[in-house]
Amino acid sequence: MSDNYLYHGLAGLLDLLVWGGELVGVENLPKTGPVVFISNHALALGPIAVVASLPMRVYPWVIADMLEWDKAAAYLNKDFIEPQLHIPPPLSMFVARIIAQASVRLLRKFDCIPVWHGEQVLETYRISVEYLMKGRNLLIFPEDPTQPFAAECQIRPFLKGFARLGELYFGRTQKALRFYPLTVYPGLRQVILGKPITFNPINNLVDERNRIKSVLESIIKNMCTEMTLQSYTRIPILQ
């Protein structure tokens, strides 16, 4: 079985067993690639929702620790098992090790892109541009984990490092990269796809990074707020 069949098979299984939602904005799906999808994380559900909803294969940015056998369990325990599943230690670490056995294999199998920090982030960019050059679509969740989570709009403030892909890709191809905003809204089981923001090579590079980051963050935040208002209108009023 090819990787693509395995990927889409897993996506269908996640949709059936975990997500079961709908993709809104199908008319905005890119007809050609490569593109970069930018999404809110919506805690642990965001990556599942996006992979289950998009009809094309995507290659996510993943924290490098999640791809390492000796680090994945500790990261899962700190980021997911204890804070989101509320499983106390020492059972939490036991559960994390079990999940890591499957997650590391799958993330490596599907060629996820490791995200490093410091000078090593240059390798993240190198791999990302190589993937784009091969026509692969990327998926990035650029929220800053050190910032507070705004529950009402399901989002944290964005980091802007991902926006450098626009200038790096343009430098290799002389083509403008498109960034598509995705909003995961668990309350209504919807993933909303917006219209793309295109890299502008005429702008000052620093200003362009800030523009791409700010516009995408604003679009996703506004869509989250709109969906929250919609969810309120569906709550029946008790007499």
- Specify the amino acid at residue 231: S
DSSP 83-132: HHH-PPTTHHHHHHHHHHHHHHHHHHHTTPEEE--GGGHHHHHHHHHHHH
- Specify the amino acid at residue 234: R
- Which single residue is written with the structure tokens 């919807």? 190
pLDDT for 232 beyond 70: no
Mean local confidence (pLDDT), 144-161: 83
Q: What is the pLDDT of residues 4-61, one digit of tens each?
A: 889 999 999 999 999 999 999 999 999 998 999 999 988 888 999 999 999 999 999 9
Q: What is the pLDDT of residue 138?
A: 98
d(CA 31, CA 230): 29
* pTM exceeds cut of 0.95: no
Q: What is the pLDDT of residue 52?
A: 95
Closest to 58 in 3D by CA, of 114, 131, 144, 108 = 131
Closest to 86 in 3D by CA, of 98, 95, 74 = 95
For the chain, what percent of residues have pLDDT higher than 90?
77
pLDDT band at 150 (very low <50, low <70, confident <90, very high): confident
Q: What is the pLDDT of residue 152?
A: 67
Q: What is the pLDDT of residues 98-121, one digit of tens each?
A: 999 999 999 999 999 999 988 899
Residue with the larger pLDDT of the pair 195 and 145: 195
Distance of CA 96 to the CA centre of its chain: 21
Q: Parse the chain into domains and list their residue ranges.
A: 3-61+112-233
pLDDT band at 237 (very low <50, low <70, confident <90, very high): very low
